[in-house]
Amino acid sequence: MQAARGTSLTGDQTDPAPTDPTRRPRTRLLVFAAVALTAYAVDVVSKVVAVDRLTDRPDVQLVGDLFQLHLVRNPGAAFSTGTAYTEVLSGVAIAAVLVLLYLARRIGSTGWAVALGLLLAGVGGNLTDRLLRSPGPLRGHVIDFFMLPHWPVFNVADICIDTAAALILVQVYRGIRLDGTRVPKERTTEESA
């Protein structure tokens, strides 16, 4: 006699390694939340320390001219573009946070959980500056303080956003969808013959 799929042949109902399908989404949601909250906290704390320690002080050279700390209050987007559209950038960031929170319910892979957690932390970190820093809500300037030669000054949130973008590209390249399923490989003409 054949046992039903997934049932024990011996009648023993205790499985040493239960695989509850509802646990995995919760686990990935916890990974998403842990990454987002940790990276967000690092960004916020680093900006508070940067403002406290770098205001009205000369640049701090960490690795000669290669890597320095230089405080900048950025009213625009990346590379200080769009400085006249700070309120629009704030609105886009609010929409992005809401979309990321909505998509988090569908995360089915750890790679996507880490990527979207970092993206939420980065967007949320810079949005916090826009909401709470001067000159006022939705117009606040983002605190940037890491400086490399021939590159705009940036912060931890920017690092999170860039790392998230790279991880998303890796997931797409690997053919892993947000829900964790894989994109089916197309059969070549040799395989179909």
- Catalytic annotation, residues: 144, 158
Residues 97, 52, 152, 91, Cα dihedral to 10°: 20
Altogether, the residues listed in the chain come to a count of 193
Q: Which two tokens stand for residue 193?
A: 């013959």
Q: Which two tokens stand for residue 133?
A: 């820093």
Question: How far apart, in whole angstroms, are the C-alpha atoms of residue 55 and residue 1?
Answer: 78
Cα distances (angstroms) measured from residue 107 to each of 11, 65, 103, 111, 127 = 35, 42, 7, 9, 23
Question: How far apart, in whole angstroms, are the C-alpha atoms of residue 32 and residue 180?
Answer: 14
* Contact call for residues 121 and 39 (beta carbons, < 8 A): yes
Question: How far apart, in whole angstroms, are the C-alpha atoms of residue 132 and residue 72?
Answer: 16
